[in-house]
Chain A
Amino acid sequence: MRKIERRAFVCLVLAGLLLLGLTFFAGEFLIKGGSWASSAFNRHLYNNDGVLTSGTVLDRDGDVLSSVDEDGNRTYYQNETVRKATLHAVGDLQGNIGTGVLNAFADKLTGYDLVNGAFSAHQGNTMYLTIDARYNYEAYQALNGHAGTVAVYNYKTGEILCMVSAPSYDPLNVPTDILDNDRYKGAYLNRFLSSTFTPGSVFKTVTAAAAIEKLKDYDTRTWTCEGSVKIGDDTIICSGTHGEETFAQALANSCNVAFAEMAVELGADTLASYTDKAGLTNSYSVSGLPTAKGTFNFDGITDDQLGWAGVGQFHDAVNPCALMVYMGAIGNGGSAAVPKLILKTRDNLGLPASLNLTHHTRRLISAKTADVLSELMANNVIATYGTDRFPNMDICAKSGTAEVGSDQRPHAWFAGFLRGDDAPYAFVALVENGGGGASVAGTVAGRVLNVIVNGY
């Protein structure tokens, strides 16, 4: 008997495996339960058409962006342009826009919780987003039908005040040709969170940070621009002929020649490490939504390629959100709050239904370098872009005009931040194939900032 008893441990092994697997499942259940439940086929949270049956989405000052009427149909904001401007934040009815809160936060919106499951899901929660419908409206209008993205966030609290992605469409009136018409190409994508683009000259803020720390005499040296320079086998072409210029002038002129020479002098490894440090290859979690990682290629490249990479061309691709966070970090002395989209969630009794903590990034740039770079970026506005376009703002910025192929107009970029405790905002504006960065994207950014800061 004892002999068989000893052999019977195989039964205990089986029993142990069952318990182990059950523990694993329970763990997964606790961690992933919310997202398992948030599947469009879950009839406890969605109706037969896959539309979320409860939950109200509001903007930061209480304008209802989406709710459910008495018949159980999902409603949106009355104004069509606001619907388009907030589509990527709110989400559509078909579940095509994965980053919209209706799809990504179905559990939080319906009041799903681990103990009760979906039992009280028909009552629904109230979710306040950090965005303001008005700012989104202005930004969408400013893009004026172009593809692109505009975002503004508070780099101290992380709250995203404005987040627009275009092209967009009316969720209550989905265009029938949405899949065929080039106008709607990539309309399901939230470009701010999920896309990467060639940065062009806005990347010079990274090259500049490396130069400030690695080139000892950067502030006394001068560079000479003759419109182009031959590096290796290629010629780096500049937007103008800038002559002899200081570091500050080179940045304000956005001089490709000076920055390509700097990039070669710094070397690929240095530039790669500063790109990583700036967080441009990171993925951030925006209230749980992951951002796309930027991609760069510094491995085994030739000097001319390095020159182009140093001015934000070559294989550089940056995510608008990551760039905005880097701007926030420069403005905030080295690190910034991670952006968030959910301001607060309330259950039907008005009690808080989720934690929305503010997280901070690691140090993206040293405090000293951030100060120096801030001054230089403020000088960009004074010297090149014009301060009168940004009234009542202590603004620091960098424009970019990213070449994306000889047959297309370049992407226009404008990114930066405001200084001071009253308006601690970082921003990014991208107009795809928009043309000149400062003129086109700068105007878009100016218009949105004007509404936020000055109210008009």
Chain B
Amino acid sequence: MTMAQSALDAITAVLAAHPLGGMWFSAVVRFLFPALAVLILARAIRGLLKIPHTPETWGQLSLPNGAPIPLTHWENIIGRNKTADVLLTYPSISRQHAALCRGEAGDWTLYDLGSRGGTKLNGEAVVSSAPVKMGDTITMGGVPLIFLPQTVGEREDLERRRKAERPAAIWPSFLWLTLFQVLACLQLIVAEGTEVSAALPLTFLGLTAVMWIYYAVLRATKCVGFEMETIAFFLSTLSLSITASSAPQSLPKQFIAVVLGLGLFLLLGLSLRDLSRVQKLRWFSAAAAIGLLGITLVLGSRVFGAKNWIILGPLSFQPSELAKICYIFAGSATLERLFRRRNLTLFIVLTGVCIGCLGLMSDFGTAAVFFVTFLVIAYLRSGDFATLGLICGAAVFGAGIIVKFKPYILSRFATWGHAWQNASVGAAYQQTRTMSAAASGGLVGMGAGNGWLHRVPAGDTDLVFGMLCEEWGLVIAVLAVVSIVTLAVFAVRACRVGRSSFYIIAACAAGSLLVFQTCLNVFGSVDILPLTGVTLPFVSNGGSAMMSAWGLLAFLKATDTRENASFAIRRGPGRKLTEEARRRTEPVRDDEFRREEDRHEEN
């Protein structure tokens, strides 16, 4: 460490002696950064938007005329409705007739969804549900279907097609990102001058190392893809440089947060592999969400008006960030569960408790994030506009009552839309500084470390979009937001090829949460919305926020069903189906056959 520091001091001394060198370096690299960002992100964004791909297939239903219908999910709705996964346009079949669901162990269950024509399994009526085996005949409204595995030819053809869609190699993006990190680090050293600490190059080096180790380890398990990780690592790099500019002493902390976030991402992704385990964990995570918020309410400290920090000696963290992950975990549900429990009561209770706690902490920004996430999950689960409309109405009414008793809350919104006329007051003070600093950056930025917005309170958290514009320029700031939008669009497009509704609800919820939080942060900082004080995912300086963003990314990773694209998806079940199909067609070996015959003759 001391060696690194003395080497760095030597370099900065040379730079201080030749200020023109540093100036020219900054003047050139500031145009390189946007170009590099495009090179890094274009591949990742294109890859994520190519979804949906050829879906996985888990079996098929054979129609009376012999035509097979593939089952592309673990949960398939069969019916006459256009939104059915298995569309059967027979008049005797109900709009939503039955469901065929695959368990974790490869066992299948048939559910009758209150159909008019009734469902029969091998001639026997199915009351609510019944286990199904390959080869069984399912009769729906008098239409007989045979539930069959795919043949070897079909399996191999499918695997060939899926392999052909293999995602483009991502290592060029990683290489560009490495160059980006090196140049960003140098630019920060130039900007900070002789004051700079060795922690700066070491944390950047650490980030680069962690990134390549992650890549190497996952490549060793034949993983491809890495688009989401590219985006997350890119944004984390921006976060490190923002931190280096605003609070250099926090750099090691922010780096550790990235490592812990990556760990959480891996852990959560791996635990999401097993759907039956996930089901059991839901209750636990609901309890954890309430627990985390409850503890904060009791032990929390007030920072910038919201009592949402827990400070333990030198450590401080925001449990509400991790509660977001638990909340989505608890809120998502499999189709099976959606059949059994149609109403949202328990989920509404959980939401009420969470938002209540946040309200008591006066953390209205996070409360709004929870509420929007609730609306997304609830709508995905129930599709019930009317109920959600009522809930929204009730929320507005509730907010009205709160404002009536605590009118000072409204004063936070008083300058909304008139920031420039109130440039020295409260939030408008921060917003006008944000806009002025952002405009000073132009399209390519003043250069990392050359800004002043970090001197404004919450500059590197709530106003971080302004810091991005100021030091990195509008182009990179917009690209950062666009890559977050891409994550949400990916979640929606991955629905078509998802295994279970649990995964796609969780992914859409996580994507929406990230997008809405980005809306509040970006628009709040530039007076398009009131300033509510939430962080920009992956970018803001803050350990809990960084970990939470990486954790949420695991939900998205768990919907990436491209061949070998995600560590959060078990590859075994698909492979097993092909092996089984192969075994079925293997000729019984001759000698065995003869021995068998001999035995018959002996008898």
Contact = CB atoms under 8 A, between A and B. Distances in A.
B133 to A, nearest CB: 23
Interface string A29-50: 1001110110101111100000
Contact of B481 (A18, A41, A113): A18
A118 B439 CA distance: 8
A8 B519 contact: no
A11 interface: yes
A10 B489 CA distance: 11
A28 B76 CA distance: 48
Contacts of B496: 1-2, 5
A15 B515 contact: yes
Interface string B52-90: 000000000000000000001101110000111100000
A377 B30 CA distance: 62
A127 to B, nearest CB: 19
Contacts of A115: 442-444
Given A1-B496, A11-B491, A25-B523, A44 B446 contact: yes
Contact of B498 (A1, A15, A17, A112): A1
A26 interface: yes
B245 to A, nearest CB: 14
A21 B522 contact: yes
B436 A42 contact: yes
Contacts of B380: 4, 7-8, 10
A31 B72 CA distance: 50
Contacts of B376: 10-11, 14
A33 B439 contact: yes
B439 A36 contact: yes
A173 interface: no
B452 interface: yes
B447 interface: yes
A18 B515 contact: yes
A135 B528 CA distance: 46
Interface string B475-499: 0001001101100110110011010
Contact of B446 (A1, A2, A33, A117): A117
A17 B481 CA distance: 12
B331 interface: no
B504 A4 contact: yes
Nearest to B429: A41
Interface string B348-366: 0000000000000000000
Given A2-B85, A22-B522, A116-B444, A39 B505 contact: no
Contact of A117 (B73, B76, B432, B440): B440
A179 to B, nearest CB: 19
Contacts of A216: none
Most B CB within 10 A of own CB, among A1, A10, A24, A115: A1
Interface in B431-460: 432-433, 435-447, 452
A9 interface: yes
Tier of interface size on chain A = 35 or more
Contacts, number: 160
Contacts of A4: 380, 495, 501, 504-505, 508
Tell me which of B383, B442, B452, B473 has the highest count of chain A C-beta atoms within 10 A of its own C-beta.
B442
B542 interface: no
B436 A41 contact: yes
Given A4-B501, A11-B492, A118-B442, A42 B437 contact: yes
B161 to A, nearest CB: 20
B522 A44 contact: no
Nearest to A34: B439
B485 A19 contact: yes
A36 B436 contact: yes
Given A2-B83, A11-B376, A114 B442 contact: yes
Contact of B444 (A7, A10, A117): A117
A121 to B, nearest CB: 8
Contact of A1 (B484, B501, B519): B501
Contacts of A44: 437, 440, 446, 452
A10 B440 CA distance: 36
A117 B512 contact: no
A236 to B, nearest CB: 44
Interface in B372-389: 372, 375-376, 379-380, 383
Given A7-B380, A12-B489, A22 B478 contact: yes
Contacts of B413: none
Given A18-B481, A26-B474, A10 B443 contact: no
A8 B509 CA distance: 9
B495 A18 contact: no
B237 to A, nearest CB: 21
Contact of B489 (A1, A15, A42): A15
B436 A5 contact: no
A116 to B, nearest CB: 5
Interface in B394-452: 423, 432-433, 435-447, 452
A1 B436 contact: no
Contacts of B469: 29
Contacts of B504: 1, 4-5, 8
A3 interface: yes
Nearest to A113: B442
5 contacts: A2-B82, A8-B504, A14-B372, A15-B489, A117-B445
Q: 6 smallest A-B Cβ distances: which pairs?
A: A117-B442, A5-B495, A36-B439, A33-B439, A118-B440, A37-B439
Interface of B: 27, 30, 72-73, 75-77, 82-85, 372, 375-376, 379-380, 383, 423, 432-433, 435-447, 452, 469-470, 473-474, 478, 481-482, 484-485, 488-489, 491-492, 495-496, 498, 501, 504-505, 508, 511-512, 515-516, 518-519, 522-523, 526, 528
Interface of A: 1-12, 14-15, 17-19, 21-22, 24-26, 28-29, 32-34, 36-37, 39, 41-45, 112-119, 121
Given A8-B492, A18-B522, A22-B522, 18 more contacts: A1-B72, A1-B496, A1-B501, A2-B82, A2-B83, A2-B496, A4-B501, A4-B505, A12-B489, A14-B376, A14-B519, A18-B481, A19-B485, A22-B481, A41-B432, A112-B440, A116-B443, A117-B440
